[in-house]
Copies of this chain bind each other. A is one copy, B any other.
Amino acid sequence: MKTRKFLLSENEIPEHWYNIMADMPNKPMPPLDPGTREPIGPEALAPLFPMGLIMQEVSPEKWIEIPDEVRNIYTMWRPTPLYRAYGLEKALDTPAKIYYKYEGASPSGSHKPNTAVPQAYYNAQEGVKKIVTETGAGQWGSALSFACNHFGIECEVFMVGVSYDGKPYRKVMMNTWGAEVHSSPSTLTAAGRKILADDPNSPGSLGIAISEAVEVAASDPNTKYALGSVLNHVLLHQTIIGQEAVKQMEKAGDMPDIVIAPFGGGSNFAGLSFPFLRMNFEEGKNIRCIAVEPTSCPKLTRGVFRYDFGDTIGMTPLFPMYTLGHTFVPAPIHAGGLRYHGAGVLVSQLLKDDLIEATSHTNPEAFEAGITFARTEGIIPAPEATYGIATAIAEANKCKEEGVSKTILFNLCGHGNFDMKAYEDYFAGKIVEHELTDEEIQASLALLNTPEID
């Protein structure tokens, strides 16, 4: 029998996270104070994050040690398997070799616990009693609920309204791990009330939910905030995915030509790709790393590179990022985790420097890829994951057209067990593309009064 799954033992779980900052030829520009617009230091983040995480956010060190307690919790689902996609390859009749790293094996069903656990750990170390966060489709909120429960920390989650209504079982999952969940925008915060005053039917967005969570966290000294993507320390934690994948590809006697992952704020993509980019930096390899976003939320492929807020209201520091403007509200696609207006600074700088690539797919293209995957590989993918699958299929088809065999690796970041409503909509013909015009993007960008970047 041909080996299908390449596994590692628990003692092969990496002992360090990889900090790509150390290897980047151009370091990201500093964040700016939202009021003074002057560069800020780490201390400015102290009201929201514990120092353990802030130090990681700004660390120049290439390798950051993973605490034993975190590695111990990682063993609840890690190392995750790396699969050779024999079924998909056969269906596509492609000369390409396709592999995927499966992060859906975690308790909450995605890659998000990889950072939720260390975030809860560092908060617990510093005596934090409660963590507030936002969640889109629910993957991040579930992961943080799971992690907080483990450390006996209270967890409060603002869930993007359109997902709160469409995915009620994600809420119950968070409740099962002891978290409290609100639909966002809510009347519990000034930010939420402002949004509702402007649009009582607002479907919500990650940016809005972030505003609400940050507001709650900032108002209580025993409460901190946590973010599931975008920030450097979050991307850092996710590098455990790619580090395992490097080892597993070696076990498979192979190495990818192309590494692919869906893109929301950057943690999914960074998690898989940064350890392969390290090989580009260190060993002069030329592995293509492709971030995949929805055409309905195209900050990497149609946005601008400038300073912008991380949230919708404008409470966070200003970050140098690819953005559609912080007031941009993406169409309510099922891939809620990809509905974010901006990109993390590390990924933005890498794209600016042409060290990575970006592409996009429509909603129907992504679902079609997801169905093909479910029927050939068995696992029903999360809507976010289907975007990465769509690019993997496109690259495999290109190999067939060109008659070349390439090795493709993508991040199957989560299962779709909580997203069956999305599949129901697909079979009912309700998955359509929300065509985004240049005028809509320009209108959103025109509202920005944040510093431009040369």
Tell me whether A71 and B1 are in contact (CB under 8 A). Answer: yes
Residue A176 CB within 8 A of the other chain: yes
A77 touches which of B146, B378, B420 (Cβ 8 Å)? B378
Produce 1/0 per residue, A70-85, CB < 8 A to B: 0110011100000000
Q: Note all chain B residues with C-beta closer than 8 A to A415.
A: 417
Q: Note all chain B residues with C-beta closer than 8 A to A420.
A: 168-169, 172-173, 176, 418
Residue A374 CB within 8 A of the other chain: yes
Residue A266 CB within 8 A of the other chain: no
Report the minimum CB–CB distance from A83 to chain B (whole Å): 8
User: Which among A5, A168, A418 has the highest number of chain B CB atoms within 10 Å?
Assistant: A5
Q: Note all chain B residues with C-beta closer than 8 A to A295.
A: none
Question: Copy number of this protein in the oligomer?
Answer: 2
Given A76-B378, A371-B176, A375-B149, A421:B169 Cβ within 8 A: yes
A115–B10 alpha-carbon span in the complex (Å):
30
Q: Note all chain B residues with C-beta closer than 8 A to A417.
A: 109, 169, 173, 415, 417-418
Q: Could you name 11 residue pairs across A and B whose Cβ atoms are closer than 8 Å?
A: A1-B11, A5-B10, A168-B424, A169-B169, A169-B421, A169-B424, A172-B420, A175-B424, A176-B427, A177-B375, A178-B375
A182–B9 alpha-carbon span in the complex (Å):
43
Residue A379 CB within 8 A of the other chain: yes
A371–B173 alpha-carbon span in the complex (Å):
11
Report the minimum CB–CB distance from A145 to chain B (whole Å): 10
Q: Note all chain B residues with C-beta closer than 8 A to A177.
A: 374-375
Tell me whether A377 and B76 are in contact (CB under 8 A). Answer: yes
Q: How many residues of A contact B (CB 8 A)?
A: 44
A5–B109 alpha-carbon span in the complex (Å):
18
Tell me whether B72 and A1 are in contact (CB under 8 A). Answer: yes
Report the minimum CB–CB distance from A376 to chain B (whole Å): 9
Closest Cβ neighbor of A9 among chain B residues: B7
The 8 closest A-B pairs by CB, nearest first: A169-B420, A107-B378, A417-B417, A172-B420, A4-B75, A172-B424, A76-B378, A172-B423
Q: Note all chain B residues with C-beta closer than 8 A to A421.
A: 169, 172
Q: Note all chain B residues with C-beta closer than 8 A to A5.
A: 10, 75
Report the minimum CB–CB distance from A135 to chain B (whole Å): 16
Tell me whether B9 and A175 are in contact (CB under 8 A). Answer: no
Residue A105 CB within 8 A of the other chain: yes
Report the minimum CB–CB distance from A29 to chain B (whole Å): 39
A415–B77 alpha-carbon span in the complex (Å):
14
A5–B380 alpha-carbon span in the complex (Å):
24
A149–B378 alpha-carbon span in the complex (Å):
9
Residues of A within 8 A of B (CB): 1-5, 7, 9-11, 68, 71-72, 75-77, 105, 107, 109, 146, 149-150, 168-169, 172-173, 175-178, 371, 374-375, 377-380, 415, 417-418, 420-421, 423-424, 427
A374–B176 alpha-carbon span in the complex (Å):
7
Tell me whether A427 and B175 are in contact (CB under 8 A). Answer: yes
Q: Note all chain B residues with C-beta closer than 8 A to A10.
A: 1, 3-5
Q: Note all chain B residues with C-beta closer than 8 A to A172.
A: 420-421, 423-424, 427
Closest Cβ neighbor of A370 among chain B residues: B176
Tell me whether A173 and B380 are in contact (CB under 8 A). Answer: yes
Report the minimum CB–CB distance from A125 to chain B (whole Å): 19
A94–B75 alpha-carbon span in the complex (Å):
22
Tell me whether A105 and B105 are in contact (CB under 8 A). Answer: yes
Report the minimum CB–CB distance from A385 to chain B (whole Å): 14
Report the minimum CB–CB distance from A14 to chain B (whole Å): 13
Tell me whether B107 and A379 are in contact (CB under 8 A). Answer: yes
Report the minimum CB–CB distance from A383 to chain B (whole Å): 13
Q: Note all chain B residues with C-beta closer than 8 A to A149.
A: 375
Q: Note all chain B residues with C-beta closer than 8 A to A378.
A: 76-77, 107, 146, 150
Q: Note all chain B residues with C-beta closer than 8 A to A3.
A: 10, 75
A76–B71 alpha-carbon span in the complex (Å):
26
Q: Note all chain B residues with C-beta closer than 8 A to A176.
A: 371, 374-375, 380, 420, 423, 427
Report the minimum CB–CB distance from A408 to chain B (whole Å): 19
